[in-house]
Amino acid sequence: MTASAAPSALGDPPAPTWADALTVPSRRGDRWFGLASRGAGVSVVALVSLVGVFLVSQAIPALAHDQVDFLTSREWSVGGDAPRFGILEMLWTTTTASVIAMAIAVPIGVCVALFLTEYAPTWLRRTAATLVDLLAAVPSIVYGLWGLVVFRPVVRPVEDWLSTHLGWFPLFAPTGITGGTIMFIGVVLAIMILPIVTAISREVFAQTPTPHKEGALALGATKWEMIRTAVLPFGRPGVVSAAMLALGRALGETIAVTFIVSTLAAGSGWTWSLLSGGETFASRIANNAAEFDSPQKTGAFIAAGLVLFILTFVVNAVARVVIERRKAFTE
Amino acid sequence: MMIVAMSGALALSACGTDATTAATTTSGAGASGCPTGTLKAEGSSAQKNAIEAAIKSYQSRCSGATVNYAATGSGAGIKQFIAGQVDFGGSDSALKDDEAKSAEATCGSPAWHLPMVTGPVGIAYNLPSVPSLVLNADVAARIFLGQITMWNDPAIAALNAGVTLPATKISVFFRSDESGTTDNFTKYLKAVAGPSWTVDSGKKWNGTVGEGKPQNAGVATAAKGIEGSISYLEWSYITQNKLGLAKVDNGSGPVELTSTSVGKMVESATQKGTGNDLSLTLDYATTVPGAYPINLVTYEVVCSTYKDPAKAKLVTSFLTHFSSDEVQKSLESLGYAPLPATISAKVKAAIAAVG
């Protein structure tokens, strides 16, 4: 359905006013290229809109039968005639794990990018950059397996330390969860999104105009002061957009999370602890996909998927606004 | 050959609605006892792996026959069978009286239940210092609901005289996806440990403590990694992961999970149906000595006489293969137990009587 939308969009004659402004009518190549790129743009927008339409149309019938408040309930029993399902717990797990991932990956990623552009010797730059990019090429199932088998025992003592010494703080309250805690998911996600943050930040930092940097140094700035006054402000919109792209990946990551996560029992009490388990939107949908035996049930999961879709959309929209405003300041 | 199989499929999809249209299927085209055509079946997901293995070996023996099984759940299987949409249904429980009547109307003859697959669930524990552990339904229910939290709890010790139980914390693991294993296990707890098992039974775990992992494999891996863990798993996953397999005290002493003890439980069931209708009253609360109680039998629900004789031949041929000792024995590696001899003989006789 979505695929057939693209060619028709491509075939539409461009509206004369802005088409004339953008293309030179006499050059055939220009016109074709303009058409092609416009078609590509329109088809992407159409694709995303259709995904949204699909999610909404599938979710609405299920939501109409929901017996509890969809946004504030922790229950999730979708079978039978009186389904009760809400997304509160998934929303909490998804956002906190992603926030933890961001809190770790963004500072480290920016530091790595600064090191690669400002500090590293030339011979190291290319090699190190390639290695970091390689992290992005590792399939997420491998992160899941590696996380569960190799990385878990490394993080476990840290979590134990937190719960024994800072257990009074609600976020580190001890729980009975031994496997995939929210914090652990966050750490694994951080590793997965690190290459995105690093690669984009590196590209932006590398484009800092040399006169800015030399100017800072000429005014007597140290290297760190030069980075702080010239490189970072210039790269800030790029870093923000890198972070948002990474956040989108973290929110939607499925297989690695499904593999690692420890689901909470349905009747367990609410806890703010990051050392507790939970399910993200994506992991719950993936985990139960084999049991979608009625449209009602499927609809409930699609409704959860819709929330994730909207969440990602909002995050990206906010990022756009931030970038636009920062641009106005720096230029 | 292709055309024959396809016309057979078309004819069969009209199952039970109009017998006259379904006369094009040729039979006896393949090897002896190998009719050609397509069978459609639907139902219980508990027997999914077993029937899929049986279908695979059947189709490699009888290349002209195709069997399609959709594991959509017992309820859906019965519904489709009554509607005449499938040739036989798979169900974990016997048809209710009104369902049996509707099925008889569709078939034009009484529907029969043929017990075919037995699926035991084991309670797995991870305590290297304890080679043998006994639990009963009540203690298991209290452990899985988090009321018993330490392995050296007096309630566990009372069942395990002479065993030194470590002061290790119990970590409960359950299935985070919906599953027949959870359904079977919680139905057992509900039936036998009623007052202690205070939450609902069903395909979804409704407990209050512990951590959930996807699939048998996920639970087994997690349980393997944590000393002091307890979980419920399909039999094969416990042996393959070398986890401890708890004996279950059914009231007449501890019983180990073996083919024999599972067979004993099935054998001890009383036959509810008459003659070749082998619906059983399977009792989770059985107290027969040596009978392992956490066990589920999946029936194939068939018409005793099919309107289309060619279809009857196909059903008979496939179920004969499925119930053969060789195939039943091979199911053990998938975590199922073979049918016990007495039941197996009755099932074979009933299959032969399907016309």
pTM for the model stands at 0.77
Which CATH number is A142's domain given?
Answer: 1.10.3720.10
* In a shared domain, residues A49 and A131: no
A158: distance to nearest CA of chain B, Å? 17
B249 three-class SS: strand
Q: What is the DSSP letter of A172?
A: G
The answer to whether residues A198 and A266 belong to one domain is: yes
* A240 and A302, same domain (yes or no): yes
Taking the CA atoms of residue B255, residue B256, residue B257 and residue B258 in that order, the dihedral angle to the nearest 10 degrees is -110
A249 and A160 together in one domain: yes
Q: What is the DSSP string of B35-98?
A: --EEEEEEE-STTHHHHHHHHHHHHHH-TTEEEEEE---HHHHHHHHHTT-SSEEEESSPPPHH
Whether A51 and A182 share a structural domain:
no
Q: What is the pLDDT along chain B (355 residues), one digit of tens a residue?
A: 344 444 444 444 434 334 333 333 333 333 446 888 899 999 887 788 899 999 999 999 888 889 999 887 788 888 889 988 999 999 888 888 888 899 999 988 999 999 999 889 999 999 999 999 999 999 999 999 999 999 999 999 999 988 999 999 999 999 988 887 888 899 899 989 878 898 888 888 888 888 998 888 889 988 988 899 999 998 888 988 899 999 999 888 899 999 889 988 888 888 888 888 888 887 888 888 889 999 888 899 999 999 888 888 899 999 999 999 889 988 888 888 898 888 899 999 999 888 8
Q: Is the CB of residue B334 less than 8 Å from the CB of residue B119?
A: no
Of B172, B177, B199, which is closest to A290 when you measure between CB atoms?
Answer: B177
Residues A132 and A201 in one domain: yes
Asked if the structure places residue A51 within a domain, the reply is yes
- Phi-psi map region of B30: left, alpha, beta (phi>0 left; psi -120 to 50 alpha): beta
How many structural domains compose chain A? 2
Q: Is residue A256 part of a domain?
A: yes
Of the residues A65, A95, A121, which one is the last residue of a structural domain?
Answer: A65
Q: Is A10 inside any structural domain?
A: no
Q: Are residues A205 and A312 in the same domain?
A: yes
In a shared domain, residues A143 and A45: no
Contact with chain B for residue A288, Cβ under 8 A? yes
The answer to whether position A145 is within a domain reads yes
Residue A301 forms part of a structural domain: yes
Tell me which residue range forms the domain holding A243: 76-330
The overall average pLDDT reported for chain A is: 86
**A131, A273, B318 from A270: Cα distances, Å:** 41, 9, 51
A interface test, pick of B148, B176, B199, B204 with most A CB neighbours within 10 Å: B176
A-chain residues within 8 Å CB-CB of B207?
Answer: 265-267
Q: Tell me the β-bridge partners of B123.
A: B232
The residue of A178, A261, A270 whose CB has the most chain B CBs within 10 angstroms, and thus the best one to mutate to test that interface, is: A178
Q: Do A226 and A137 share a structural domain?
A: yes
Of A79, A266, A279, the CB nearest to B205: A266
pLDDT tens digit at each of 331 positions of chain A: 344 444 444 455 555 555 555 555 568 888 899 999 999 999 999 999 999 999 999 899 889 888 888 888 888 888 777 888 899 999 999 999 999 999 999 999 999 999 999 999 989 988 988 888 888 888 989 998 898 888 988 988 898 899 889 888 888 888 878 878 999 999 999 999 999 999 999 999 999 999 999 999 999 999 999 999 999 999 988 898 899 889 989 998 988 998 888 888 887 788 888 888 888 999 999 888 877 777 888 899 999 999 999 998 898 888 888 777 766 555 4
Any domain includes A4: no
Q: Name the token pair of A89.
A: 């717990």
Residues A149, A295, single domain; the answer is yes
Whether A3 is covered by a domain: the verdict is no
Report if residue A1 sits inside a domain. Answer: no
| Contact residues, chain A, for B213 at CB < 8 Å | 179, 262-263
Q: By CA distance, what is A285's nearest residue in B?
A: B177
A291 touches chain B (CB under 8 A): yes
Give yes or no: residues A92 and A206 share one domain: yes
Whether chain A has a CB inside 8 Å of the CB on B289: the answer is: no
Is residue A162 located within the same domain as residue A61?
A: no
